[in-house]
């Protein structure tokens, strides 16, 4: 921790105190240029952070903090494919997957192979064991092998796509049955997606898929045409009966939560075609260039990271809400939960020392306008500061306009609030007697000052989704860098897997804690009755 950094933190402490009693209304009243000053255009995607609790000096101090942490070194390291994942001594080079002509030869070769397979599938030139062409693609994967393609298929797949694409992630038989009920073994292809090819849930689902195919097509039917693997361990895939020709590689230097751009995106390419998939990569590539080259105070992902730091450390926000005004983006928060919380849910810096203060907030959210009728009450009148990203899409249709207007109304109202005097005036204007006005007015007060950024997309296309997701990837990386964290390992998750192996199949075992033992006994009792 260098001295400049510590001094800047102190300066930010003092600066924060100076702003603490200034309302967001006052920030807007005091600066007619506030919107112009605090929004950016990134190739048509608009980022408005004027409703955040910042002034020009805040941004200057935060950018200085990024310089004191030598964030430029991080950016250069990502671009070059350095060993950013220092604990595991591995690169975190997902940007190479979308580098276009600059991509490594192996990446270009994989895209070429993916394209051939996708074209054959979409054009009905991929017969199953009975000769019927494949029409239905079911992805078996969990975490990074599920969330990215799942979100992107929901966001981008047209209703009349030549291939239906579904996802099965977990262990619950109900989830798998839900998809099997709508599928025909003769025309169904499974994509078994697991970097290590040891993921418990994915392998259990792959075994069930094989059994379902055999039950439908006959014990001796050749199943290779019904199987594709995406993995870093092609031999393990072969052991399951997936030929090398159907196995797409996932390089060691791609982390699961950054892998949509790799062959993990195969089901998405099936749903939108390879041209669409390449558009997604192009959108992300455009953001990569911006991230490498734009000065920090005009760099969208860097500003997103710095605002996140400001909101958690100085405003004390424990959570961050992602609110897309789009049904197609209804799983965006679920996707970003992994990206953000698995990357930066850490307490230890790369050098093994404890990180000072809090790191990643709880990321949550859901599709709007449903949240308006559910949890927005707490945003208005609860006791907690909740920074938000409001995501809106421009569109001229009546419903698109209504969604847009709703997004603007909520973020404005949450920022402006309603004072006691305004609540009184409103109740009096409704003709309520004075004592009722006095009784009710405190219940109508909204504190305001909820900070938000608005991301305005011109349309929801593969290119724009590529931009949006790359923005969050770089935000997460930059924020981890500012905290001194390695955003690319996940030792906590691995501890959970260890414990699962200890408990799996165990009975009442004296080495286990009393709660676990009590619950295991309770299950036994219930199963006996």
- Give, as ranges, the residues between 340 and 369 that touch a second copy (CB under 8 A): 341-342, 344-348, 352-353, 355, 357-364, 366-369
Nearer to a second copy, 110 or 337 (CB): 337
Stretch 171-200: interaction string toward a second copy, x if CB under 8 A: xxxxx-xx--x-----------------xx
Residue 63 Cα distances to 60, 75, 156, angstroms: 5, 14, 35
CB 452 within 8 A of CB 53: no
Q: Does 520 bind a second copy (CB under 8 A)?
A: yes
Is 500 near a second copy (CB under 8 A)?
Answer: yes
22 binds a second copy, rule: CB under 8 A:
no
Known active-site residue 342 = yes
Does 489 contact a second copy by CB under 8 A? yes
Contact 391, 368 (CB under 8 A): no
Please, how many CA atoms are within 13 Å of residue 426, restricted to the half-sphere of its CB?
A: 12
Q: By the 8 A CB rule, do 419 and 353 touch?
A: no
**Binding flag, residue 232, a second copy (CB under 8 A):** no
Interacting residues with a second copy between 458 and 477 (CB under 8 A): 458
The residue from 139, 193, 411, 467 that contacts a second copy (CB under 8 A) is: 411
Interaction between residue 375 and a second copy (CB under 8 A): yes
Residue that has been written with the tokens 């093994």 in this structure: 352
User: How many residues comprise the chain?
Assistant: 529
Cα(204)–Cα(54) distance, integer angstroms: 50
- Minimum Å distance from CB 464 to a second copy? 12
Residue found by looking up tokens 């405003």 in the block = 315
Q: How many residues bind a second copy (CB under 8 A)?
A: 144
Q: Cis ω on the peptide bond leading into residue 136 (within 30° of 0)?
A: no
Q: Which is nearer to a second copy, 11 or 19 (CB)?
A: 19
Which residue out of 331, 342, 368, 473 is catalytically annotated?
342
User: Which one from 10, 73, 178, 497 is the annotated catalytic residue?
Assistant: 497
Toward a second copy, which CB reaches closer, 294 or 512? Answer: 512
Q: According to the binding rule CB under 8 A, does residue 1 interact with a second copy?
A: no
- Considering only residues 89-128, where is the footprint of a second copy by CB under 8 A? none
DSSP string, 63-89: HHHHHHTTHHHHHHHHHHT---BTTTT
Least distance (Å) between residue 486 CB and a second copy: 8
3-class secondary structure per residue, 399-452: HHHHHHHHHHHHHHHHHHCECHHHHHHHHHHCCCCHHHHHHHHHHHCECCCCCE
Q: How far is CA 387 from the centre of its chain?
A: 16
Is 146 among the residues that bind a second copy (CB under 8 A)?
yes
Q: How far is the CB of 507 from a second copy (least distance, A)?
A: 11
Give least dist CB 379 to a second copy, A: 7
Residue among 446, 465, 468, 482 that touches a second copy (CB under 8 A): 446
Give least dist CB 245 to a second copy, A.
29
45-51 and 452-457: which strand pairing? antiparallel
| Residue 130 found at the interface with a second copy (CB under 8 A) | no
* Interface residue with a second copy, options 198, 293, 327, 425 (CB under 8 A): 327
Q: Does 380 bind a second copy (CB under 8 A)?
A: yes
Binding a second copy by CB under 8 A: which of 90, 132, 214, 418?
Answer: 418
Asked if 449 touches a second copy (CB under 8 A), the answer is: no
Q: Return the number of the residue (96 or 165) whose C-beta is nearest a second copy.
A: 165
Six-digit token string for 135: 């029409």
Residue (of 389, 425, 428) closest to 410 by Cα position: 389
Neighbour count for residue 142 (Cβ, 10 Å): 20
Smallest separation, CB 223 to a second copy (Å): 22
Q: Which is closer to a second copy, CB of 125 or CB of 384?
A: 384
Q: Does 313 bind a second copy (CB under 8 A)?
A: no
Contact status, residue 224 vs residue 260, Cβ threshold 8 Å: no
**Minimal distance in Å, beta carbon 399 to a second copy?**
5
Tell me the backbone φ, ψ of residue 241, rounded to 5 degrees.
Answer: 95, 15
Torsion angles phi and psi, residue 225, rounded to 5? -70, -10
DSSP 3-71: HHHHHHHHHHHHHHHHHTT--HHHHHHT-TTHHHHTEEEETTEEEEEEESS--HHHHHHHHHHHHHTTH
Q: Which is nearer to a second copy, 25 or 214 (CB)?
A: 25
| Backbone φ and ψ of 389, nearest 5° | -105, 120
The one-character DSSP state at 329 is: G
Distance between CA atoms of residues 401 and 447, nearest Å: 28
Residue (3 or 398) nearer to a second copy, CB: 398
Report if residue 334 touches a second copy, rule: CB under 8 A: yes
Pick one of 279, 337, 461, 467: the residue that binds a second copy (CB under 8 A): 337
36 binds a second copy (CB under 8 A): yes
Which has the closest alpha carbon to 206: 231, 4, 121, 53?
231
- Residue 142 binds to a second copy (criterion: CB under 8 A): yes
Q: Does 46 bind a second copy (CB under 8 A)?
A: yes
48 binds a second copy (CB under 8 A): yes
The catalytic position among 3, 101, 219, 373 is 373
Minimum CB distance to a second copy, residue 443 (Å)? 5
Q: Select from 72-80, 214-222, 378-386, 463-471 the region that touches a second copy (CB under 8 A).
A: 378-386
> How far, CA to CA in Å, does 85 sit from each of 262, 394, 474?
18, 38, 15
Known catalytic residue at 112:
no
- 34 interacts with a second copy by CB under 8 A: yes
Catalytic residues: 342, 373, 497
């Amino acid at each position: 921790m260098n001295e400049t950094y510590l001094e800047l933190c102190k300066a930010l402490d003092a600066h924060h105190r100076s702003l603490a009693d200034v309302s967001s209304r006052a920030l807007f009243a005091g600066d007619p240029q506030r919107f112009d000053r605090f929004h950016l255009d990134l190739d048509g995607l608009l980022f408005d952070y004027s409703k955040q609790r910042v002034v020009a000096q805040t941004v200057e101090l935060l950018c200085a903090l990024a310089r004191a942490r030598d964030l430029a070194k991080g950016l250069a390291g990502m671009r070059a494919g350095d060993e950013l994942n220092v604990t595991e001594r591995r690169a975190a080079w997902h940007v190479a997957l979308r580098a276009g002509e600059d991509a490594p030869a192996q990446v270009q070769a994989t895209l070429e192979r993916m394209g051939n397979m996708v074209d054959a599938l979409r054009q009905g030139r991929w017969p199953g064991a009975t000769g019927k062409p494949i029409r239905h693609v079911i992805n078996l994967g969990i975490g990074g092998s599920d969330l990215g393609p799942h979100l992107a298929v929901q966001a981008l797949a047209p209703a009349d796509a030549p291939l239906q694409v579904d996802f099965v992630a977990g262990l619950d038989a109900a989830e798998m049955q839900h998809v099997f009920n709508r599928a025909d073994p003769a025309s169904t292809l499974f994509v078994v997606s697991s970097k290590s090819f040891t993921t418990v849930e994915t392998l259990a689902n792959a075994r069930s898929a094989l059994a379902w195919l055999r039950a439908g097509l006959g014990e001796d039917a050749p199943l290779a045409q019904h199987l594709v693997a995406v993995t870093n361990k092609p031999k393990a895939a072969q052991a399951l009966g997936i030929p090398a020709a159907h196995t797409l590689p996932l390089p060691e230097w791609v982390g699961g939560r950054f892998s949509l751009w790799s062959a993990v995106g195969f089901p998405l390419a099936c749903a939108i075609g390879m041209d669409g998939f390449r558009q997604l990569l192009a959108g992300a590539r455009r953001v990569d260039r911006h991230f490498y080259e734009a000065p920090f105070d005009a760099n969208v992902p860097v500003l997103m990271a710095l605002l996140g730091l400001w909101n958690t450390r100085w405003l004390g926000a424990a959570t961050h809400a992602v609110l897309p005004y789009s049904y197609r983006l209804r799983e965006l928060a679920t996707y970003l939960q992994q990206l953000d919380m698995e990357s930066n849910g850490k307490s230890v810096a790369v050098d093994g020392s404890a990180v000072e203060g809090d790191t990643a907030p709880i990321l949550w959210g859901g599709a709007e306008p449903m949240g308006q009728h559910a949890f927005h009450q707490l945003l208005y009148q609860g006791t907690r500061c909740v920074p938000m990203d409001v995501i809106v899409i421009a569109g001229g249709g009546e419903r698109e306009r209504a969604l847009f207007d709703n997004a603007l109304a909520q973020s404005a109202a949450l920022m402006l609030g309603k004072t006691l005097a305004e609540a009184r005036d409103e109740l009096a204007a409704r003709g309520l007697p004075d004592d009722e006005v006095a009784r009710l007015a405190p219940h109508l007060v909204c504190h305001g000052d909820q900070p938000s950024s608005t991301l305005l997309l011109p349309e929801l296309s593969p290119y724009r989704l590529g931009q949006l997701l790359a923005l969050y990837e770089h935000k997460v990386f930059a924020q981890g860098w500012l905290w001194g964290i390695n955003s690319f390992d996940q030792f906590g998750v691995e501890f959970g897997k260890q414990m699962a192996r200890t408990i799996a199949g165990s009975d009442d075992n004296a080495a286990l804690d009393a709660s676990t033992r009590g619950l295991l006994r309770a299950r036994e009792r219930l199963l006996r009755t």
